[in-house]
Copies of this chain bind each other. A is one copy, B any other.
Amino acid sequence: MDFVFSDNTAPLKPSAIREIFKSLTDPEVISFAAGNPSPESFPVADMNRFADAIFDECPSTALQYGITEGYTPLREAVRIRAGSRFGVCKDNDTVIITSGGQQGIDLTAKVFCNKGDTVICEEPTFIGALNAFRAHGCITAGVPMDEDGINTDALEFAIKTAVNPKLIYLIPTFQNPTGRTMSAEKRERCLQLAKKYGLMILEDDPYGELRFSGSEIPPIKSMDAEGRVVYCSSFSKILSSGMRVGYVICDGKAASKISVCKQVNDVHTNLFFQMVCHKFLTEFDLDSHIKKIRELYRRKSALMLAQLDEKLPRSVRYTRPDGGLFIWADLPEELDSDAIIKELVRRKLAVVPGDTFICDNGSHLNGFRMNYSTPSDEQIIKGVGILANVIKERSL
């Protein structure tokens, strides 16, 4: 039979990245396309130990229904860490445990946006967020970025010209897909603009713990005295992405509404792994563990950048991230990214096309995203070699 889908979801397409992910079953393909943490970063032995302890100490709690807002001791541990480490948990704020950072984004859009409202985003930006906004019937409006983050003049213009703007979606630190980090001044300015025009900010910070150079810049949420910022993060990039445990930190009144929506979404997040995360926050040296991940990514990003510096023509520009998982490359006008990416796939190198990350008003982005956390060193060297060869051949 022919199905009639809802107006909001009928136009939705699967995320190109998830689809690429599915097609990467060919073991010969080198993937710079993932957004995955390195498997080397998973603390397997400790997680096994903590899991055994939970089976031993409190299996009936861990396997039973729990509270929608999350496992209370984990919420408290997150509050303490996020507060002391990033200054993001104020007195009026509440922690809600979510099924990965993605759920925090989806629920925030659901709670604040009506069909036809506009969500203003950095462009390019995270496809998972764009599709979440679209699934709620929102329009996504892209604002260009400078090296130090969103162009705030363009942001104000976008706010002024948007239809029912409600939410500004930002990934200020090690942005996906560009790897760029927004300066402290611009963070302040974004908050001022949100206040001036009565918008909420959704601050997505999945990579904030992964800084391997430069100095820390406080999250926008830490500058927010009135509850205008909803802060989303997760344990995906520091413990395990497959377990799907994240959190939202926001004003208690907004948190209550997010919680009601989470209740009808999945009742609560996997309780066993909430308890695992709680043990990692309270019975484990998480900072030392994160330090090791940073060292790993510092090394891998340096390797990829050194390879790019050595092998790519100067006409190709790319970002030099201070942390996170991604490098973004812009091709010169005379090179067509679509044709290049197609040829890369033929030679078994996968990258993510720039147009994956554009908003509803976006034009073509002649670039692509590369990831250095998942491929092995050998794959990084070989992959950049393939990339350089294709670009050089096409540049002739």
Contacts and interface: CB of A to CB of B under 8 A. Distances in A.
Interface of A: 1, 3-10, 12-15, 18, 21-22, 34-37, 39, 42, 44, 47-48, 51-52, 55, 59-68, 99-100, 102-103, 106, 110-115, 128, 131-132, 134-136, 200, 226-228, 236, 239-244, 251, 253-254, 256-257, 259-261, 263-273
Contacts of A68: 14, 18
B242 A64 contact: yes
Given A1-B227, A110-B135, A242 B259 contact: no
Contacts of A51: 48, 51-52, 55
18 contacts: A3-B251, A3-B253, A5-B111, A6-B113, A9-B111, A9-B261, A21-B65, A39-B60, A42-B63, A65-B241, A99-B244, A102-B265, A106-B266, A135-B264, A240-B272, A242-B268, A243-B271, A244-B271
Given A3-B254, A6-B110, A68-B18, A99 B52 contact: no
Contacts of A13: 260
Number of copies: 2
Contacts of A65: 21, 34-36, 236, 241-242
Contacts of A131: 260, 263-264
A240 B3 CA distance: 34
Contacts of A256: 14
Given A42-B59, A64-B39, A263 B110 contact: no
